[in-house]
Amino acid sequence: MIKPKLSLTKIAPYQNGNHSQKLFDLGQRVVKLDSNESTVTPSPRVVLALNDFIQSSFINWYPDVNSSDLIDKLVNYTTLKGDYLQTFNGSDHALETICHTYINPGDLVSIIAPSYDHFRLYAESNGARLEFIYTPDPFLADDAYLLNNIPTESKIIYLVNPNNPTGVLYTESAIRQLLLTFKSSLIIVDEAYFEFAKKTVIKLVEEFSNLIVTRSFSKAFGLAGLRMGYIACSPKLMSAINKIRVGKHVNSLAQIAATASLEDIEFIERYIAEIATAKEWILNKMDSLGIPTVSTPANFILIKVGNPDALVSYLADQNIFVRNRNSVKGLEGYIRISIGHQLLMERFWRAFREAPVELINSQQRLLKAE
């Protein structure tokens, strides 16, 4: 039997959300709140741009490997120069490429945990030694703890900001201190949820040559199905990454869609405002039951329930999909709910409040429901 490379032999696979064809077949009957995607279709400008491109019949050509038009739009969006920016087939592809570029077998990679688990897989598959940094309270930013507990020999430090799944958001000042303290480490700040949180350190790439910021079009922009992400870093870091980046991976339709999305920021801002309103609504509903919740600056919340495994299964039987975080260290008892538009949250709420009491873990609280 031909064996895979040694670094793969003991790796636990990433656990995907619900992304099967079954969901597409069910269509509008599905309430999909498990992967923090947008719950609405993207800007109408995106649809028009895609239709125009398809009609022009250039799908038989390879895409623009430099994503020239999209980079121009990203220059305006980020206020960075073009040589600080690069596009990828989703931010996952970016993270994977960064790991391929900078990790040697045996290098130490520190992950501020709990965290987005796909990065763990990319690092581990390149032979990295992993150090998970758990702060005393998973829901509080703890600058001092990070500074005192991240190993100085870390080749890479990975921080999601705001964090998925806890929602923790570190300040620019805190990240600046990390960059100054760990000057020999490559620090990756994953800003997949920037559009919701409105906090960023992307301009720090002009000041620090050990910082990479990654972003995604899969969340607020609603392009998860097309796959588009980008990174920002110093040209010196970028030159190494570009050696192995495959520009053809960034397909033409994704480039067209992302470019059109950046031409309609007003649409994105309206959607973000709708999500903020729906989030407040569902948090108030949970409070009316006395259910413990954790709000976040992103488009998801955490809910603590009595039997997460059974509740997730119960909801799935009704075509309502949420994410079980019960097995994540520090998040025992929690499920994660992506926030959708108001009608979706009302459908979720009706199913949640009708769940068997032992799944929610309080008969008395349920009796208080409206």
Q: Residue 5: pLDDT band by 50, 70, 90 thresholds? A: confident
- 245 lies in a domain? yes
- 233 lies in a domain? yes
Domain total in the chain: 2
- In a shared domain, residues 276 and 199: no
- In a shared domain, residues 189 and 271: no
Torsion sign over Cα 204, 205, 206, 208: positive
Helix, strand, coil share of the chain (percent; to 5): 45, 15, 40
- In a shared domain, residues 101 and 234: yes
Q: What is the pLDDT of residues 246-273, one digit of tens each?
A: 999 999 999 999 999 999 999 999 999 9
Residue 191 maps to which CATH number?
3.40.640.10
Q: Which domain holds residue 126?
A: 44-262
In this prediction, residue 366 carries a pLDDT of 45
- In a shared domain, residues 149 and 101: yes
Q: What is the pTM of this model?
A: 0.92
Which among 292, 116, 79 is positioned nearest to 219, based on CA atoms? 116
Q: What is the pLDDT of residues 79-100, one digit of tens each?
A: 999 999 999 999 999 999 999 9
Task: Report the distance separating Cα 167 and Cα 106, nearest Å.
Answer: 30
- 248 lies in a domain? yes
- In a shared domain, residues 243 and 231: yes
- 144 lies in a domain? yes
The residue from 222, 238, 262 where one domain ends is: 262
- 294 lies in a domain? yes
The residue from 244, 262, 280 where one domain ends is: 262
- In a shared domain, residues 361 and 294: yes
Least-confidence region, from 108-112, 237-241, 359-363: 359-363
- 1 lies in a domain? no
- 111 lies in a domain? yes
In this prediction, residue 370 carries a pLDDT of 45
- In a shared domain, residues 247 and 205: yes
- In a shared domain, residues 110 and 140: yes
- In a shared domain, residues 172 and 314: no
In this prediction, residue 215 carries a pLDDT of 98
Q: Please give the radius of gyration of the chain, using alpha carbons only, rounded to the nearest integer.
A: 21
Task: Report the distance separating Cα 311 and Cα 301, nearest Å.
Answer: 16
Count of Cβ atoms closer than 10 Å to residue 51 Cβ? 11
- 332 lies in a domain? yes
- In a shared domain, residues 217 and 310: no
**Residue 123 CB partners (closer than 8 Å, separation 6+):** 99, 103, 109, 111, 130, 156, 158
- In a shared domain, residues 269 and 248: no
The residue from 262, 286, 319 where one domain ends is: 262
- In a shared domain, residues 148 and 276: no
Residue 329 maps to which CATH number?
3.90.1150.10
Task: Report the distance separating Cα 216 and Cα 218, nearest Å.
Answer: 5
